[in-house]
Amino acid sequence: MKDTLKIRPMNRPEVALAIKWAAIEGWNPGIYDADSYYQTDPQGFLLGELNGEPIGCISAVAYDEHFGFIGFYIVQPEYRGRGFGIQLWQAAMDYLGTNRNIGLDGVIAQQDNYKKSGFHIAYKHIRYQKTGGGIIPPDIVLLDTVPFEELVAYDRQFFPAQRRKFLQNWLHLPNSAACGILNDGHLTGYGVIRRSQSGYRIGPLFADNEEIAEKILQALLTKGINSSVFIDIPDINPQALALVQRHKMQPGFEAARMYTKGAPDLPMNRIFGVTSLEVG
């Protein structure tokens, strides 16, 4: 008799299981990411169970009616090759529907499979790392001092959908720091660093120019003193590449940002670090 996979939405505690599995895969998720992810779309985290045992998961976060993002696509190793992954994948795609532009960050081994499902490579994210430390530059302000609605509006320039729900939690994670720079009272860049399974991860890092991005990067690096600090940068932003190279950050993990309906019209020259490979 063929094994039947039961697929259902996760509850909040079960999202921690997806993060645990992602850590085992070597993706280095943030320790406290679960609340931010789950609150963005509580119906968008799917668990696959076989005879009552969790064996796989996938996230399909619907930001609005126009954009969604897939992540946490994991089947436990002993259950791979039995068709359970494609069942999870289809459930996620069905949830997001055909009207949304859907994004994901695909590891090299899976990119051909994603292409078969209608995804197209827009560019690559390359993970860079170095040991944190240094001194906070002048002009840096804590994001708590910036009106939240201004921050939401600034963030919207760099993402295909408005992220109010996500940011409400993301900016206040335990063991994290969020800072930016103002010009004439208006936000010109911001970044967040958070504790991850190994070291710290920066994301996002958005800025109006490379000079602003560098100051914010320097400030964030001080949070991860004597720890490894990671940032995922889009390889089509030459200023971002120059920035990490100037700071002698070392490249490592790579993934391709892919979309079903083409790359959104975003100012890639001002995106110096993606928020998260799990939710965009």
pLDDT digits (tens, 9 = 90+) for 99-137: 999 999 998 888 999 999 999 999 999 999 999 999 999
Who's near 210: CB < 8 A, 6+ residues apart?
A: 239, 242, 243, 272
At 174 the pLDDT is: 95
What are 233's strand-pairing partners?
126
The two structure tokens encoding residue 66: 């126009």
At 49 the pLDDT is: 97
Going from the N-terminus, what domains does the chain have, and what CATH number goes with each?
Answer: 5-103 (3.40.630.30), 127-273 (3.40.630.90)
Give yes or no for a contact between 217 and 247, defined as CB atoms under 8 angstroms apart.
yes
Q: Go through 64-98 and write b for each residue having 16 or more CB atoms within 10 A of its CB, e for each that does not.
A: eeebbbbbbbbbbeebeeeebbebbbebbbebbee
**Rounded (10°) angle between helices 238-246 and 210-221:** 40
Give yes or no for a contact between 60 and 26, defined as CB atoms under 8 angstroms apart.
no
At 1 the pLDDT is: 43
The two structure tokens encoding residue 200: 């710290």
At 2 the pLDDT is: 59
At 4 the pLDDT is: 84
> How far apart are alpha carbons 139 and 22 in whole angstroms?
36
Give yes or no for a contact between 148 and 187, defined as CB atoms under 8 angstroms apart.
no
Helix/strand/coil for 226: coil
Q: Tens digit of pLDDT for each residue in 233-248?
A: 999 999 999 999 999 9
Give yes or no for a contact between 165 and 279, defined as CB atoms under 8 angstroms apart.
no
**What stretches of 3-120 show up as alpha helix (H) in DSSP?**
12-24, 34-40, 84-96, 111-116
193: left (phi over 0), alpha (psi -120 to 50) or beta: beta
Per-residue pLDDT of the chain (280 residues; tens, 9 = 90+): 457 899 999 999 999 999 999 999 999 999 999 999 999 999 999 999 999 999 999 999 999 999 999 999 999 999 999 999 999 999 999 999 999 999 999 988 889 999 999 999 999 999 999 999 999 999 999 999 999 999 999 999 999 999 999 999 999 999 999 999 999 999 999 999 999 999 999 999 999 999 999 999 999 999 999 999 999 999 999 999 999 999 999 999 899 999 999 999 999 999 999 999 999 9
pTM, to two decimals: 0.96
> How far apart are alpha carbons 175 and 271 in whole angstroms?
24
The two structure tokens encoding residue 82: 């039995």
Q: Tally the C-alpha atoms within 13 A of residue 1's C-alpha that lie toward its C-beta.
A: 3
The two structure tokens encoding residue 30: 């943030």
